[in-house]
C-alpha cells in the first residue's frame, strides 16, 4: 500500500458492545434451538415449520451480532450502507440453519452428518458476514484481508459448531435445557470467531487528504441501532408468540375431535375425573350409520356426521355441553334444572331432524338413533349420572327408534349389573377381558423401569366398556378377587415369556383391591404363579389404592410385612387423595409411592401444585421410597419434574398409552433404539 497516499487506521473496540453482540446472538441461538426441539411434543405446527422459525431466529441473531459487532469497531469515518445488500445477507444463514436443524432432528445422525451440518452452519455465517461487509462502504478508504487468518477463523468455527450440534437435540437427556444453552453459547462463540477474527484479518487504509468525520459515522450507527432493535423485538415476538400459539393449539388438538371440532372422549374423560356435580347427562347414539361407510364411502359417512353435529349445535340450550365420545355417540351435560327443561324439548326437535338426515331414500337407507338420559333428583357427579345413561343404553328393552329413554333406578340398573356379573367369567375365558401395559420410565437411566398391568373389557355385545363402568360393579359384588387372580395368572405368564427378550421390562405392577390384600388366597395365588412360571417375587409389584385399604390397618400391616418378606414390592397408589396418607406411610412398609395424577395436571403453571408435589417428593425421598409420578402428558411437565428431583419414575401418555403385549414389545424396541442413539451421540453427535 502506498504509504504516501494512505495511512493505516487502527480500529478501536468497544468492549461493552462486543459483549452485547455475543449475548444477543446467544439468546437468539437458544431461542432457535429450543423452538425447533419439538420431538415427542404434541403440537399444532408441523416440525418443518418449527425448523423454519428456528432458522429465521438463528439468522436474526447472527445478523444482529454482525451489525452490533460493527458498532463495537470504532473507525470513526464516514460509512454508507447498501440496505438491499444488507437485507439480502440474512438469506444464506436462514437456508443453512434450516438444513442444519433438519439434519440434527433426525434419529440417525452419523459423524459425517454432524460434520456436514457444522460446515453448512459456518458457510451461512461466513456468507452473511462477508455479504454484510460488502454492503458497508467507507469513503476514501481501502481494505485488505489476511486470508490465512480468515481460513483459521473458518476452521475454528467449524470445530465449535460441531460441538454445538453434538448438544443440540438431546431429547432424552435429563439436562436437556442445559445442553440447549451450551449449544447456544457455542453457536454464539462460533459466530464471534468468524466476525472478530474476520475484522482482525482486515487492514484499513485511509487517504491522507481526508479528514475524519465522527458525526456522520454516529448518525449512520444510530440508524443501524434502530434496525437492530427492530430485529431483536421481531425474534422475541416470533419465539414467545409461536410457543404460546402452539401450546394453546396443542391443548386444543388433544381435547377436540378432528372431524366435528367438538370436545372429544379425552376431554369428557377428564371431566369424569373431576367429580363435578351436575343435574343431568344424556347420551345420543346413532345406529346403523356404519352401513353408509360399508355401502358408500367414509366421505358420505363423515358428511352425515357433520350435518348431524351442525344440527345439534343449532339452538343448543344454554348451560348444556356437547361431547363426541365415540364414533357414533354424543354426550350432553346439563348443569341445572333449567338446562334440563330446555333440553327435553330440544331433544324432541333434534331427533326429528336427525331422522331426516339419516334417511337416504334413493339408496333405500334409513338409520336409527335414540337418546338415553338420567336426571338426578338432586345434583350428582357426572360419572354417576353417565354410568346410569350407559346402563340405560345397554338395557335389552331400550329401542333406538328416535325416542328418549329415561333411566329408572330399579329397572335399568339391576338388569345391567346382572348382565355384567353373569358374563364376567365367560369374558375371562373368551379373552373379552384382557390386559394392557403402560410403561414406567426411569428418567436418570433413560430406560424402561417396569410396566403397570391394566384390565380392559371388549364386550361381545356392548363393545369396549370403560373400567370406570365395570370395575365398581365387580367390586361392589365381590367379583374383583376372582378377576385379580385371573390378572395375576395372565401377567405372570406373559412376564415369563419376556424373560429371554432383553428389550422387555422384567417387572410388572398389578393393582390389588384393598380388602383382598389380607386374604391368604392372594398370597397363595402369587406364590403359585411365581413358582409355576419360574419367576422371582421381586419381579412383581402390588399396587394398593390408598382409598381402598381394609378397615383394619393392623391387618394391612401384617399382610404387607408378609408379602415383603417373600420379596414382593408393595406400592401405595394414588397417594394424596385419601384421608390417611401420612398414617399409612408411618405404619406400612411400602417400597414405592405413586403420586396421583391430580397433582401433576397443572404443573408447572400452578404454584400451589408445584409446592405440594415438591413436598410429597421430599417426604418420599426422606422415607427412602421409590417415587412414581403418573399422569405425565407433555414435555413441560416432564422438564419441570426433571428440574426438581432425581431418581423419578415417570408414567403417562407423554411416553405412550397402555399397550397390548405385542404393541409393548414394538414400543420397547423403538424406545431402546432412541435412547441408544442418544447415548452414543454423547461421544460425537446429538
Interval 602-606 mean pLDDT: 81
Partners of 436 in the β-ladder: 454
What's the pLDDT at 218? 43
Q: 381 or 451, which is more confident?
A: 451
Query: Across the strands, what pairs with 630?
Result: 651
> What's the confidence (pLDDT) of residue 434?
93
Sign of CA dihedral 639, 644, 645, 646: positive
Q: Are 204 and 293 found together in one domain?
A: no
Residue 205 domain-assigned (yes or no): yes
Domain stops at, among 254, 285, 307: 254
Report pLDDT digits (tens) over 497-522.
998 888 888 899 999 988 888 889 99
Q: Do 110 and 35 share a structural domain?
A: yes
Q: CA geometry: angle at 526 spanning 558 and 627, to 5°? A: 65
Is residue 41 predicted with pLDDT exceeding 60?
A: no
Angle CA 445–451–455, to nearest 5: 165
Q: Do 632 and 517 fall within a single domain?
A: yes
Tens of pLDDT, residues 264-296? 888 888 787 777 889 999 999 988 766 554 555
- pLDDT(632) > 80: yes
What is the model's pLDDT at position 217? Answer: 46
Same domain, 243 and 273: no
pLDDT score, position 219: 42
Residue 573 lies in a domain: yes
User: Does some domain include residue 619?
Assistant: yes
pLDDT digit string, tens, across residues 221-254: 554 555 556 556 656 666 666 566 556 555 666 6
The reported pLDDT for the residue numbered 42 is 43
Cα-based torsion angle of the residue sequence 513, 516, 521, 523 in order, rounded to the nearest 10 degrees: 70
**Grid cell locating 248:** 394453546
Q: Residue 470 domain-assigned?
A: no
User: In which order are the strands placed within the sheet that holds 6-9?
Assistant: 6-9, 202-207, 141-145
Q: Are residues 531 and 602 in the same domain?
A: yes
Q: Is residue 462 part of a domain?
A: no
| Mean pLDDT of the region 452-457 | 92
DSSP SS3 for 173: coil
Same-domain check for residues 214 and 310: no
Q: How far is CA 611 from CA 68, 577, 580, 615, 616, in A?
A: 42, 16, 20, 6, 9
Selection from 17-31, 59-73, 81-95, 144-158 with the highest mean pLDDT = 144-158
For residue 324, being part of any structural domain is answered with yes
104, 237: one domain: yes
Bigger pLDDT: 264 vs 204: 264
Q: For position 686, what pLDDT does the model report? A: 37
As a whole number, the mean pLDDT across the chain is 80
* Of the candidate ranges 5-14, 199-208, 233-242, 363-372, the one whose mean pLDDT is the lowest: 233-242
Cα dihedral 287, 288, 293, 299 sign: negative
Q: pLDDT for 385-433, tens place per residue? A: 888 888 888 776 777 788 899 988 766 666 677 778 888 888 999 889 9
Specify whether 508 is located in the same domain as 622.
Answer: yes
Whether residues 213 and 296 fall in one domain? no
Q: Specify the number of domains making up the chain.
A: 3
Taking the C-alpha atoms of residue 317 and residue 338, their distance in angstroms, rounded to an integer, is 9
Percent of the chain with pLDDT over 90: 25
| E-state strands within 271-406 | 277-287, 320-326, 329-334, 359-360, 365-366, 368-381, 403-406
pTM greater than 0.85 (yes/no): no
In a domain, 197, yes or no: yes
SS3 label, residue 283: strand
**Using one digit for the tens of pLDDT, what is the confidence trace for 549-559?**
555 677 888 88
Are 170 and 189 part of one and the same domain? Answer: yes
CA-based nearest residue to 191, from 14, 60, 12, 53: 60
Q: Alpha helices, DSSP H only, in 37-110?
A: 47-72, 83-88, 91-104
Instruction: Please report, to the nearest 10 degrees, the dihedral formed by the alpha carbons of residues 543, 546, 550, 554 taken in order.
Output: 90
Of the three residues 254, 283, 310, the one that is the final residue of a domain is 254
Residue 474's pLDDT is what? Answer: 87
Same structural domain, 186 and 289: no
CATH number of 649's domain: 3.20.20.450
Q: Are residues 245 and 283 in the same domain?
A: no
- Expressed as residue numbers, the domain containing 673 is 439-453+482-677
Give a yes or no: residue 292 inside a domain. Answer: yes
Query: Of 385, 407, 429, which residue is a domain's last?
Result: 407
Amino acid at each position: 500500500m502506498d504509504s504516501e497516499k494512505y495511512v493505516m487506521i487502527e480500529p478501536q473496540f468497544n468492549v461493552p458492545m462486543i459483549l452485547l453482540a455475543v449475548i444477543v446472538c446467544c439468546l437468539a441461538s437458544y431461542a432457535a434451538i429450543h423452538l425447533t426441539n419439538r420431538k415427542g411434543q404434541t403440537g399444532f405446527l408441523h416440525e418443518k415449520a418449527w425448523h423454519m422459525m428456528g432458522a429465521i431466529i438463528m439468522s436474526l441473531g447472527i445478523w444482529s451480532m454482525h451489525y452490533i459487532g460493527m458498532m463495537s469497531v470504532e473507525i470513526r469515518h464516514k460509512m454508507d450502507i447498501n440496505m438491499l445488500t444488507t437485507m439480502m445477507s440474512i438469506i444464506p444463514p436462514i437456508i443453512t440453519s434450516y438444513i442444519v436443524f433438519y439434519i440434527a432432528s433426525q434419529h440417525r445422525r452419523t459423524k459425517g452428518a454432524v460434520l456436514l451440518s457444522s460446515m453448512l452452519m459456518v458457510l451461512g455465517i461466513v456468507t452473511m458476514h462477508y455479504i454484510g461487509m460488502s454492503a458497508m462502504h467507507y469513503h476514501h478508504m481501502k481494505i485488505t484481508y489476511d486470508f490465512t487468518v480468515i481460513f483459521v477463523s473458518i476452521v475454528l468455527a467449524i470445530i465449535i459448531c460441531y460441538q454445538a450440534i453434538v448438544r443440540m437435540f438431546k431429547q432424552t437427556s435429563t439436562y436437556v435445557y442445559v445442553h440447549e444453552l451450551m449449544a447456544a453459547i457455542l453457536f454464539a462463540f462460533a459466530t464471534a470467531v468468524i466476525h472478530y477474527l474476520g475484522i482482525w484479518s482486515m487492514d484499513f487504509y485511509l487517504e491522507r487528504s481526508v479528514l475524519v468525520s465522527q458525526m456522520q459515522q454516529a448518525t449512520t450507527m444510530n440508524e443501524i441501532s434502530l434496525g437492530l432493535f427492530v430485529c431483536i423485538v421481531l425474534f422475541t415476538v416470533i419465539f414467545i408468540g409461536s410457543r404460546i400459539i402452539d401450546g394453546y393449539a396443542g391443548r386444543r388438538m388433544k381435547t377436540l375431535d378432528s372431524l366435528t371440532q367438538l370436545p372429544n372422549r379425552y376431554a369428557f374423560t377428564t371431566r369424569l375425573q373431576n367429580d363435578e356435580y351436575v343435574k343431568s347427562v344424556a347420551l345420543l347414539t346413532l345406529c346403523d350409520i356404519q352401513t353408509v361407510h360399508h355401502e358408500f364411502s367414509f366421505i358420505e359417512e363423515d358428511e352425515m356426521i357433520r350435518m348431524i353435529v351442525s344440527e345439534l349445535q343449532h339452538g343448543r340450550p344454554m348451560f348444556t355441553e356437547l361431547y363426541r365420545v365415540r364414533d357414533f355417540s354424543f354426550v350432553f351435560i346439563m348443569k341445572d334444572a333449567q338446562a334440563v327443561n330446555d333440553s327435553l324439548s330440544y331433544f324432541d326437535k333434534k331427533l326429528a331432524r336427525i331422522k331426516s338426515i339419516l334417511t337416504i331414500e334413493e339408496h333405500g337407507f334409513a338409520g336409527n338413533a335414540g337418546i338415553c338420559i338420567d336426571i338426578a333428583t338432586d345434583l350428582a357427579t357426572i360419572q354417576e349420572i353417565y354410568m346410569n345413561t350407559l346402563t340405560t343404553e345397554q338395557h335389552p328393552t331400550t329401542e333406538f327408534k328416535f325416542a328418549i329413554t329415561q333411566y329408572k333406578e330399579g329397572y335399568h340398573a339391576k338388569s345391567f349389573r346382572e348382565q355384567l356379573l353373569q358374563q364376567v367369567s365367560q369374558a375371562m375365558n373368551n379373552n373379552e377381558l384382557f390386559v394392557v401395559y403402560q410403561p414406567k420410565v426411569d428418567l436418570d437411566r433413560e430406560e424402561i423401569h417396569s410396566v403397570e398391568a391394566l384390565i380392559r373389557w371388549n364386550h361381545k355385545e356392548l363393545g369396549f366398556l370403560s373400567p370406570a363402568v365395570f370395575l365398581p360393579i365387580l367390586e361392589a359384588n365381590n367379583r374383583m378377587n376372582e378377576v385379580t387372580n385371573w390378572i395375576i395368572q395372565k401377567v405372570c405368564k406373559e412376564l415369563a415369556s419376556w424373560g429371554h427378550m432383553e428389550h422387555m421390562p422384567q417387572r410388572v405392577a398389578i393393582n390389588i383391591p384393598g380388602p383382598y390384600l389380607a386374604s391368604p388366597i392372594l398370597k397363595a395365588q402369587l406364590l403359585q404363579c411365581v413358582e409355576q412360571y419360574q419367576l422371582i417375587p421381586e419381579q412383581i409389584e402390588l399396587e394398593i389404592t390408598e382409598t381402598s385399604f381394609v378397615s383394619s390397618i393392623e391387618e394391612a400391616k401384617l399382610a404387607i410385612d408378609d408379602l415383603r418378606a417373600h420379596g414382593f414390592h408393595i406400592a401405595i397408589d394414588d397417594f394424596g387423595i385419601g384421608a390417611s396418607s401420612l398414617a399409612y406411610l408411618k405404619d406400612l412398609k411400602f417400597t414405592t409411592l405413586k403420586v396421583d395424577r391430580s397433582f401433576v395436571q397443572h404443573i408447572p403453571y400452578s404454584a400451589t401444585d408445584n409446592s405440594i408435589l415438591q413436598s410429597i417428593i421430599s417426604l418420599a425421598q426422606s422415607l427412602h421410597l421409590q417415587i412414581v409420578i403418573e399422569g405425565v402428558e407433555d414435555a413441560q411437565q416432564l422438564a419441570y419434574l426433571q428440574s426438581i428431583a432425581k431418581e423419578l419414575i415417570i408414567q403417562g401418555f407423554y411416553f405412550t398409552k397402555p399397550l397390548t403385549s405385542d404393541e409393548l414389545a414394538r414400543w420397547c424396541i423403538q424406545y431402546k433404539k432412541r435412547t441408544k442413539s442418544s447415548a452414543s451421540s454423547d461421544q460425537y453427535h446429538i
